């Protein structure tokens, strides 16, 4: 369910050209049909899944503002998805209003979701988020609704398609390339950790218009076995999977880096969100 631009323009003064306000009707002709901005579901995280949250705070669902701002930067309308893992009928009712799904970064997935016992290196978990994101990803992929996964989101796409994860890159892969460049380890979120090689002919290459890009990196897990219907479309110099995408018609793209933290002029950022929102517009017009 897209939102008429005419109802929201006062709150979104710098929309991209594709969402320009429709011309007003004149004495000589009728008004152009209103262009519509796609509604993009953005999943959330259980507040207390985050380290250091005081017990006294109420149970809450939260998400980093950057993800919502990235969506509005390219003309989308973000809709926060509450984690009603115990009420998937309500999640489904929300899903019916969406033109696209953005799955952000966050805590580790419980390995039970890909049928493995948990290693000691696995960090904090969020069972409600796992359940809701996996369900939403499966619905969206089945329906051809565009999905963009960022970091954990890319991992969710892979697991939703039946794939598995390395639970800890340092312990299981022994690479010397650092992927866990978190702010808690003294890195800025925009720290460019390493290059990635993008697969020629992939959706990702078409979006970024380049075959190599420098990326930031804030993760310790990565794709192990690839999910069904997915292809690997970017790798780090040490072979760690940096992006996956659907091999079918629908836009299903997951990247292991964090484009949302960059300003619009970064080559790994805005073009990806633009390609996603274009796919969401097309999807909303088709259904």
Ligand X SMILES: N[C@@H](CCC(=O)NCCCC(=O)O)C(=O)O
Which helix (H) or strand (E) element contains residue 278?
A: helix 270-286
Whole-number minimum distance, CB 76 to ligand X, in Å? 19
Whole-number minimum distance, CB 98 to ligand X, in Å? 21
**Single residue of 194, 203, 219, 278 touching ligand X by CB under 6 A:** 219
Whole-number minimum distance, CB 151 to ligand X, in Å? 3
Is 236 a residue that touches ligand X (CB under 6 A)?
A: no
Report the alpha-carbon distance of residue 164 to residue 114 in Å, rounded. Answer: 5
Is 152 a residue that touches ligand X (CB under 6 A)?
A: yes
Is 218 a residue that touches ligand X (CB under 6 A)?
A: yes
Report the alpha-carbon distance of residue 286 to residue 85 in Å, rounded. Answer: 29
What mask of x and - would describe binding to ligand X in positions 55 to 94, judged by CB under 6 A?
A: ---------x------------------------------
> Which residues 6+ apart lie within 8 Å of 148 measured at CB?
100, 101, 102, 103, 251, 253, 254, 272, 273, 276
Whole-number minimum distance, CB 220 to ligand X, in Å? 4
Whole-number minimum distance, CB 193 to ligand X, in Å? 13
Could you list the active site residues?
151, 258, 260
Nearer to ligand X, 108 or 242 (CB): 108
Please tell me the count of residues contacting ligand X according to CB under 6 A.
11
**Single residue of 85, 107, 137, 141 touching ligand X by CB under 6 A:** 107
Is 133 a residue that touches ligand X (CB under 6 A)?
A: no
CB of 271 within 8 A of CB of 207? yes
> What's the DSSP call for residue 29?
B
Which helix (H) or strand (E) element contains residue 94?
A: helix 88-95
Is 221 a residue that touches ligand X (CB under 6 A)?
A: yes
Angle at 211 between CA 207 and CA 214, to 5 degrees: 90
Beta-strand ranges (E) seen in the chain are: 3-4, 36-37, 39-43, 45-46, 61-62, 77-81, 100-103, 147-150, 165-166, 194-198, 212-215, 222-223, 230-235, 241-246, 252-255
Nearer to ligand X, 39 or 102 (CB): 102
Is 151 a residue that touches ligand X (CB under 6 A)?
A: yes
Residue ranges in contact with ligand X by CB under 6 A: 64, 105-108, 151-152, 218-221
């Amino acid at each position: 369910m897209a939102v008429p631009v005419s109802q929201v323009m006062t709150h979104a003064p710098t929309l991209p050209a594709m969402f320009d306000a429709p011309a007003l009707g004149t004495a000589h002709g009728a008004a152009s049909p209103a262009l519509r901005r796609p509604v993009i579901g953005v999943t959330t995280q259980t507040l207390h899944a985050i380290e250091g949250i005081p017990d006294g705070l109420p149970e809450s669902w939260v998400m980093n503002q950057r993800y919502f701002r990235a969506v509005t930067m390219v003309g989308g309308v973000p809709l926060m998805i509450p984690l009603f893992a115990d009420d998937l009928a309500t999640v489904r009712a929300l899903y019916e209003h969406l033109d696209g799904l953005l799955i952000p970064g966050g805590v580790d997935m419980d390995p039970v979701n890909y049928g493995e016992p948990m290693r000691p290196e696995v960090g904090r978990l969020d069972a409600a988020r796992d359940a809701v994101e996996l369900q939403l990803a499966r619905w969206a992929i089945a329906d051809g609704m565009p999905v963009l996964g960022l970091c954990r989101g890319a991992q969710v796409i892979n697991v939703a398609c039946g794939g598995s994860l390395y639970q800890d890159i340092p312990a299981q892969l022994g690479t010397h390339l650092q992927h866990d460049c978190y702010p808690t380890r003294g890195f800025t979120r925009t720290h460019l950790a390493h290059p990635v090689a993008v697969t020629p002919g992939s959706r990702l290459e078409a979006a970024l218009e380049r075959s190599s890009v420098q990326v930031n990196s804030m993760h310790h897990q990565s794709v192990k076995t690839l999910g069904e219907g997915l292809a690997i479309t970017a790798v780090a110099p040490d072979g760690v999977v940096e992006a996956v995408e659907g091999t079918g018609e629908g836009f299903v793209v997951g990247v292991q880096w964090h484009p949302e933290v960059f300003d619009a002029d970064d080559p790994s950022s805005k073009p990806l969100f633009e390609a996603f929102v274009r796919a969401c517009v097309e999807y909303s017009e088709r259904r």
